[in-house]
Amino acid sequence: MVLHASVSLVLCVWLTGSIVLCDSTEFVVRETVYGNVRGYVHSVLDNITVERFLGIPYAAPPTGNLRFENPQDPESWADILNTTQLPPACPQTHWEYVIEHVPGFNYHDEDCLYLNIYVPRTPGSTVDDLAVLVYVHGGSNLQGMAGMFHGDVLAALGNIVVVAVNYRLGAFGFLTGQNADFPGNYGLLDQSFALQWVQKNIRFFDGNPAKVTVQGHSSGSSDVGLHIFSPKSKDLFRYVIMQSGVPTASFSIARPPRKPEIVLTTIAEHYGCLFSDKKRIKQCLKNVDWKTIIDDHSIIYETEYPATRLVSYIPVVDHVFISDTPENLMDKWPLNGEAFMTGVTKDECSVWAKSYGDLNIMELTAEKVKRVIFEGVVPEVFPQLIDFVLKVYKPSSELTNVTANIVAFYSIMSDSVFVAPAVDFASQISRRNRNTYFYTFEYQSPVSPPPSWLGVPHGRDLFYLFGCPFTGHPLYNYTDDDRRVSSIVIDMWSNFIKHGTPSFSSIVAEPIPRFTEKDQFYVKISGYNQTSAVSISTRPRARHVMFWNYVLPWIRNLRESKYTKMGTLTFVFISLTGFLLVVLASVVLYYNRRRLKRCRN
């Protein structure tokens, strides 16, 4: 409910996040259960207006004795709380990810549990009945913030309420002792607490608490996937969107050989807090200044651990937020949510290719494959497994073509880390819920930054979802084609958020069929004009997905079986069998596409 609106009479004021409020700015006040908040009206898209509320506290500051504890309710306030500028990000050590979205922003503080709300002022809307999107940012649970994108355009064009949340990152959000005294997962509990806040308060912002969709990107997406299985998030949302990350991905939750408790031991020892009692460790670490922990990141987090390099701040099975790994809960655990949509970009890992050597002399080698995929996972005594990956991906006819090797290299990462897990998760969840959908974002703008082999990298779809082609962005140029594709993405998303089924009202297109384990229909967003930007296809990257989801695990399990001693002839037989399975997948894909074409005709 809008309580009060007025026009400011003060001079222009510069606010964090490149916002300028001038003497013509219209302010608006709304209720929450903790007190009233003041936002302001922002004009987008030819004077379509959206109310912005930036920095509403949804939990008490997680400082002092509340560090490493579950989130608590914020204290109520008597005066109107000013929420007109971006809140601080949660503490983080590197700013590259944030700067990619908000150049120049580097303001962080341990008092960071805030959310931003965008309310469309659309004529004819029914008060308290707008569908709601709650967005969880990515950043490996180490970086990022709610304010990396404003939700104005998405809220205005989609006629939905958009909510973006901060949550604790790094040591403050995911440090764990892997026991009841120091369980971890505080960042996940923050996300769940924010969803509870939305249930209590979103009606004051014209939103319907029964029409909430939770969405995440990258690590935020795999976090959102964990909410599907968490009793802490039961009845807090209706639909789920997972962009470039699923809860069964390797980076989503700690599994052997990851040992995240090693990080706690290292930190505790560094600060003289190493005790046998995890409660004492926690209390001791509460007394260390947060800036000191951030400054000492290189000592703490980037240490070479002798047990395994696969150590990070990562969600864990804590028996509070989640009782087991998602793959073990998939078939038996009650699922939160009534409809699910997940998908990937065409070239997920292209942006990280340069991290693995000089691209001018790029060659796809066994050492590179081992470093990005198998380090600490596959026994050293089985190099044939790496050779098999090379046989599938190495560009046979262009061995000296640098670009071909780069694309092959990042395709290994993309398929194994993002694409294959996403297809597998969608297949599994579709067995229990037929309202499952899949998409790929494959649109490469004609004015995309060079080099051209970057294609459509990780996170590029977010800029189109949040309408950057309409508002502009400091780091990118956009064309009319970009704005058209942005409209299509927003249309598809907002229809899913409202109805649980992705569809298009702005263009003439085929209905988007459900994704099933058998047919694996998905919508492909690509092209440069209104008629070719959307198509329906089947089995995304079928040959490579089958390799990672079926062939390679089968070979590995056979190799690791205590009944198997593999010699050269055995490996040749298995490799040949695996190759034939991949060929079979290609044949199935060919006939499925022919069947799909006949259905269209």
| Contact of 515 with 437, CB cutoff 8 Å | yes
Q: Three-class SS string for 522-550? A: EEEECCCCCCCCEEEEECCCHHHHHHHHH
- What is the rounded distance in angstroms from the CA atom of residue 362 to the CA atom of residue 351? 15
Q: Which amino acid is at 369?
A: V
| Contact of 317 with 323, CB cutoff 8 Å | yes
Nearest C-alpha neighbor of 494 from the set 483, 479, 506: 506
| Contact of 202 with 212, CB cutoff 8 Å | yes
- What is the rounded distance in angstroms from the CA atom of residue 270 to the CA atom of residue 285? 10
| Contact of 221 with 138, CB cutoff 8 Å | yes
| Contact of 465 with 491, CB cutoff 8 Å | no
- What is the rounded distance in angstroms from the CA atom of residue 83 to the CA atom of residue 117? 10
Active-site entry in 24, 43, 218, 233 = 218
Dmax over Cα atoms in the chain, in whole Å?
84
Q: Which amino acid is at 76?
A: S
Q: Which amino acid is at 61?
A: P
CA angle 95, 96, 101 (to 5 degrees): 100
- What is the rounded distance in angstroms from the CA atom of residue 546 to the CA atom of residue 492? 28
- What is the rounded distance in angstroms from the CA atom of residue 124 to the CA atom of residue 76? 33
Question: Does 218 participate in catalysis according to the annotation?
Answer: yes
Residue 174 has φ and ψ, to the nearest 5°, of -140, 10
C-alpha distances (whole Å) from 361 to each of 364, 391, 399, 405, 407 are 10, 20, 12, 10, 13
- How buried is residue 323: exposed, middle or buried, by Cβ count under 10 Å (0-12/13-18/19+)? middle
DSSP-derived secondary structure letter, 108: B
| Contact of 204 with 30, CB cutoff 8 Å | yes
| Contact of 550 with 581, CB cutoff 8 Å | yes
Structure tokens at 562: 């205590």
Catalytic residues: 218
